[in-house]
Amino acid sequence: MGYTNRLIASLAVGIIFAFLTWLTVGGDLSPLSVGPEFRFLFGIISVLLIPGMFLGFLLGHNVHIVNIWLMVMGNFIVYFGVAYLVLAKWEKRRGNHQKKMGR
């Protein structure tokens, strides 16, 4: 995986988490509107969005008065960075493994 593929994959992950933040916090998605089958999934998504909520708390001392786009951008930056670092580490590890195998 080259630099371009890693960047595109990281952007995709960041955009997905940004969209989930907007949908969960600013959109019409709430635990009551998703139905009983998806409430567990909604709980998992809510836990994954904690970095943006933490940023909102730091900036406004109350998550509810902070602009939603700050939380969206916070989650985008966090998950873009995490995906980029994980993919870079995976690529390095894969390269080291291939060197050991003599390929």
pLDDT digits (tens, 9 = 90+) for 47-88: 888 888 888 888 888 777 778 888 889 999 999 999 999 999
Q: At what angle do helices 50-60 and 68-101 cross, to 10 degrees?
A: 140
- Is residue 39 within 8 Å of residue 16, measured between CB atoms? no
For residue 44, what are its two tokens?
Answer: 């998992």
pTM of the predicted structure, to 2 decimals: 0.77
The total number of structural domains that make up the chain: 1
DSSP at 24: I
**Rounded distance, CA 77 to CA 91, Å?**
21
List the domain range (segments joined by +) for residue 81: 3-101
**Rounded distance, CA 23 to CA 9, Å?**
21
